[in-house]
Amino acid sequence: MSEIPCREQVLAQISATEANIRRLTTEIDELESQRQKERRAVGRLWFMILPVGTLPTELLLEIFALAVQSRTDVDRRSPPYGPDHPIHQTLLLSHVCSLWRQIVLTSPRLWVAGLIDVRLDRKGYLPRNLARLTMLLDRSSPLPLTVSLAGGKAENGADPARAAILHALIPTVSRWKDLKAGHYSFFNELNASPGSFTALEKLDIHLRSNQLHLFSTSSHLRYLRLVMEDRMSPGDVLRIPWAQLTHLDLEESNPTTCRLVLLQCTNVVSARFQTTFDWDTNVDAPATVLPFLQTLKVQLWALEVVGHIGPLLGPLTLPALQSFRILGGEVWPAQEFSTFQMRAPNISQIFLTRSLIASEELVTLLRLAPALTSLTLMSCARCINDPFLQAFTYDVGDGNNLVPHLHDLRWQSVGYHHLDYALFESAIRSRCSADVTPLKQVIVDGSSFRRLPVAQMQDLKEKGLELHII
């Protein structure tokens, strides 16, 4: 009969077994670590002979940039830095392998592909995204940035989270090349100094007049959309480098100031103004040639005065002007506009909205616009009548026809309730013949023109005329 081991012997065996288990576990861990190391080595070796592994770093970076930039059209209503944001694509690339991560982290161009969308009006957004914003600003250095600031003025006193966001942005303002800011208070809170915005090329802002000096030395500025929260004075106007702009969009309630601004924009290609009729007729405006201006849009609203666009056009010579849009006007400045047309002979597109131009004045306008190809009239109650349609009809034997190159026509709410519709058909047919530049598109307002002879004009549609009743 075998001897039963005593307690001490059992405990000794347990201790020895546990020691063996620990030793084996250590050996297993070491072997597992070694196996993982070998697997990584195999992966690196396979990567070296796969096509993607043979690409030089420079080419990989170009491919990464294309992948990231393909998402730069993100809807601004989407969550900032969400799954559809270009920065998210950059982060995904950095997670593929150590080589790609090293390339991504050391390539600032991948971190400036998307909009830096700072929304200070979203609850819970600020604390959650401060770290990501800081990372983005750091990794994109020293390249220029595209920044959007939204949210307006802080409510209920100081907001620490908002202050932290703006504090992170302050050191980077000299890198901003494209800035959109929807409220003037941002510039007070940023505490930026004049001369800070040196890299700006495109600026879309709401400002007060005492903040204009912040952009006086923005030597790269070419595109400016400016909404003034108060009226500028002539001295304020001098604080912006207007002469270097190529695109201008200005909302300013003082039309005399708008004219002063435009006369200084000697290199502008497109300009839009939203202002009032309230001209200061005591201010002289020197005759000015703007040789590159191709597109001009003026939107006027009334402040208990009767006015028109004439004072703006008086000093201007625009030899390159092609597209001219006018919205509003209590009266039509017939003489001033005819004189202006002599100094702008190349207008090919005219858009009149809510204008009181009369039919005979419209005939004069068209007679002085031989290069016109597109005419849009909207909510112009007095501009179309039977005599106009007769004058508008193209006569092959007449060497004095109106706008012989017109091919795009849109009339909406133009006051032709009692027209001779046969005259309309005749006018359209006369401009679809082989003897004139044929009309390509005609859009008319069905609510006012219910009895248009569309059915009997079907043959014109079959020949290529786009005739739409809206």
**Tens-place pLDDT, residues 226-258:** 999 888 888 888 888 999 999 999 999 888 889
Nearest 10 degrees: CA dihedral of 127, 129, 134, 137?
-150
Phi, psi for residue 66 in degrees, rounded to 5? -65, -40
Domain membership flag for residue 37: yes
Q: What is the Cα–Cα distance from 386 to 390, expressed in whole angstroms?
A: 6
Q: Which domain holds residue 43?
A: 10-52
pLDDT of residue 156: 58
Domain membership flag for residue 16: yes
- Among residues 158, 152, 116, which one has the least CA distance to residue 134? 116
DSSP state of 213: G
Q: What is the Cα–Cα distance from 88 to 104, expressed in whole angstroms?
A: 12
Three-class SS state of 290: coil
Domain membership flag for residue 110: no
Residues in contact with 349: Cβ distance below 8 Å, sequence separation at least 6, in sequence order? 322, 323, 324, 372, 373, 374, 375, 376
Q: What is the Cα–Cα distance from 326 to 80, expressed in whole angstroms?
A: 37
Domain membership flag for residue 287: no
Domain membership flag for residue 17: yes
pLDDT of residue 449: 60
Q: What is the Cα–Cα distance from 223 to 216, expressed in whole angstroms?
A: 14
HSE-up of 439 (CA within 13 Å, CB side)? 24
pLDDT of residue 385: 85
| E strand or H helix at 429 | helix 421-430
Phi, psi for residue 223 in degrees, rounded to 5? -115, 125
Domain membership flag for residue 18: yes
Q: Please state the three-class secondary structure of 49-111 as a single string.
A: HCHHHHCCHHHHHHHHHHHHHCCCCCCCCCCCCCCCCHHHHHHHHHCCCHHHHHHHHCCHHHH
- Among residues 114, 106, 61, 57, which one has the least CA distance to residue 87? 114
pTM for the model stands at 0.79
Give the count of beta carbons closer than 10 Å to the beta carbon of residue 158.
7
Domain count, the chain: 1
**Start-end of H helices in 160-244:** 160-169, 185-190, 234-237
Buried b (16+ CB within 10 A) or exposed e, 326-336: bbbbeebbbeb
What the block records as the tokens of 31 is 């072997």
Q: Please state the three-class secondary structure of 238-286 as a single string.
A: CCCCHHHCCEEEEECCCHHHHHHHHHHCCCCCEEEEEEECCCCCCCCCC
pLDDT of residue 48: 63
Residues in contact with 53: Cβ distance below 8 Å, sequence separation at least 6, in sequence order? 46, 47
Phi, psi for residue 53 in degrees, rounded to 5? -75, -15
What the block records as the tokens of 254 is 């003082």
- Among residues 373, 386, 330, which one has the least CA distance to residue 354? 330
What the block records as the tokens of 68 is 């990231």
| E strand or H helix at 15 | helix 7-49
- Which residues of the chain register pLDDT less than 70? 1-4, 44, 47-54, 69-85, 121-128, 152-159, 281-282, 303-307, 415-418, 434, 446-454
| E strand or H helix at 202 | strand 202-207
Domain membership flag for residue 133: no
Whole-number CA gyration radius for the chain: 34
pLDDT of residue 80: 55
Domain membership flag for residue 14: yes
